[in-house]
Structure 1
Amino acid sequence: MPYLKQLLEILVVSTRLGLTSFGGPIAHLGYFHEEYVRRRKWLDDKSYADLVALSQFLPGPASSQVGIGIGVMKGGVLGGFTSFIGFTFPSAIALILFVFVAQEFGVADSGFIQGLKIVAVAVVASAILGMAKHLTPDLTRKTIALFALIATLLIPHFLSQIGVILIAGLLGYFIFRENQSEEKRSMTFPITKRFGTICLTLFFGFLIGLPILSYVSSVTWIGIFDSFYRAGALVFGGGHVVLPLLEREFVPTGLISEESFLAGYGAAQAVPGPLFTFASYIGADISGWTGGLMATVAIFLPAFLLILGTLPFWYSLRQNSQIKGALMGVNAAVVGILISAFYQPIWTSAILSPVDFALAALLFFMLVYWKLPPWVVVLTGAIGGSIIAIL
């Protein structure tokens, strides 16, 4: 009974985040930090930063993988699955519905969408301040964060993020290897390495086997499932990167028209949650509700298998005293990467006028100092954006 209550709590919290987390993966990480680290204290800042750093190395939707990882830490494999369902399915269902109304709805450029972008500014700013306080307490780590910021800002490519994390880890290993801090981690980990190995085996098995099965089989849905699975398994850089890949997979084949694809793209920007749920729209456009659900499973399955497969090894690695210094450097770099992403694209796409900045300041104050619930901040941002659009 206590375990069922725990799963229900994970479902309620993740669903609320799935309904209110606008602004893309970096903004989602801000929402997660506010809810899971600050408010509920399910894990500490360093454990959260470790999880974020791991997600930067893995292909697929980074914010979804972080959410799954937190669910696993809280409630095991079922906790991870529950967290995934809560965070993902609100936007997946909304985009399946948008198949029928998106072209007439015309929400992509409306005022409340601009307001939601401004909400993301306040949320990410709050997360960065909180993480920087704990992860860059000294001048050395502040310097690492600064160079991570500069490098990822001047070279805006997912490979630069991976390179920065690797270099920061190497620097941290040599600079902090004598630092034997005995800080305790707040979480225990419920998955064995054997289970992780099985998940990784399944990941590569699907990646290799599905194209072969699709080639020798005449069943259309196997080829469609393969296309979505490969998109989720091989794409680094988040949802904005997977969108053009999906266009190349489905528009030239005639499975979805260019007009319908673009309408869905606009709808994907208007809903909360991960951009990878754009696959739900494409699947529903091809084959109704069943196609939408199949596409959702196919594109997120690699992320689920990868995070479950790598977390047991990552968790053991970070407990190794010889690796702690490297992780100190990596965590500092994560702060710099988040600041870089805060500027581009979050700030540059949201703060377009002094009025926008004024609304962002109000929302930041509501979140950090008045400590109002995130849904109140989101609602205020949406209303404020609509008012600004009218003025």
Structure 2
Amino acid sequence: MASSTPSIIRPTRRTRIVCISDTHNCTVKLPKGDVLIHAGDLTNQGSFSELSKSIQWLEKADFEAKIVIAGNHDISLDSNFYAEYGQRFHNQEQQDSARCLALLTSSRTITYLCHNSTTIRLQDPKGPATEFTVFGSPFSPRNGVWAFGYERSGPASGAMGEVSTSKAEPSAAEIWNSIPMSIDILVTHTPPYAHCDSCPDRPEALGCVELQKALGRVRPRLHVCGHVHHGRGSERVTWEMGTPGGEVGVERWEDPSPDLSSAKISLVDLISRGGNRPLDSHDVAAQSTVSRNPSMPDPSDSPRKTTLPQFHTQPLRPTGQAGWDDDPGPGPSRPSNSSAGPKGLDRVNSVPTDPAETLSRMGSRRESCIVNCAIVATSWPHAGGRRLNKPIVVDLDLPIWR
């Protein structure tokens, strides 16, 4: 009779992650850390000059790893959207979408993710020597004419001028079902439904229902997002053990030093020190009796990718109101005779769920931390002036790779 494979809990070490989003051309002082994450909306309208300035700022930042995704305002990075509607932005001075994208993809210090994942291994001798798998996606529910949009589903469906989408366009469920189970950190532009997604002038939660469901399945240690400026903050979600989904508790983090003028960092401390309760999110790994040949490549170094949804946007009802995250105001109206259609659409590949992997995740990761790290605190037209938030710093235990 075959013996069962012994399991071990992987040792971890504190890793400091600095989280920002929705900078909209602003550059703020960044606290020290090991990893920098930007969850989208680097710019107001994604022009080459805007992107150049934002990327130069990020490239100069002193972090061992820097992870960046786009947001709905970084319109030139969504090539299909920009081909259809780009001429209506930038005072009709068309930008070169490929050249804009190359600013990120050719960067030597930035890891740009666009609905795909990769494994980051921190190798600085002075650093924590930890590793993590991160999945990043720019998509968010449509709100006006902006990039990387999809039709909203759930309680807020139809509330912001959406129309029925083509059958060829991936649904919200298809998009978020493509998140791999293997990730430690999830970075999305949109927040999940009912978590860090409230806005004082709207009664409904503004996050994505299908993303919320995916969180309950994947249970990342950390989920970094933005998009809803007023939702800035952090929540610790406790999951029901042994069952996909099933939130059984939520703890809201209170920023001890929200004032931008304060020298104190806005710290979400998820490690065990000073009496803190560490995040209950460990991995149980099978202990192999076979040693890996050090001359062979480590499979964890290879990016894990899913098929990026290539959206051809559908006509929407013209909007004359600013969206709750729209920094420069609403985009141009879509013409009623738009020719946008499903031609050339690539479907999202749903990631098959391994029952054993699912059971392992359901039985080990009891908590996830969600962080909305929007830097711009106000929404267009910024009554009383534009106000800025601090970056949010997260201390998180991650697996040691050495």
Shared fold per TM-score greater than 0.5: no
Greater relative contact order (Cα < 8 A, sep 6+): 1
With the shorter chain as reference, the TM-score category is: under 0.3
In the superposition, the TM-score normalised over structure 2's length comes to 0.26
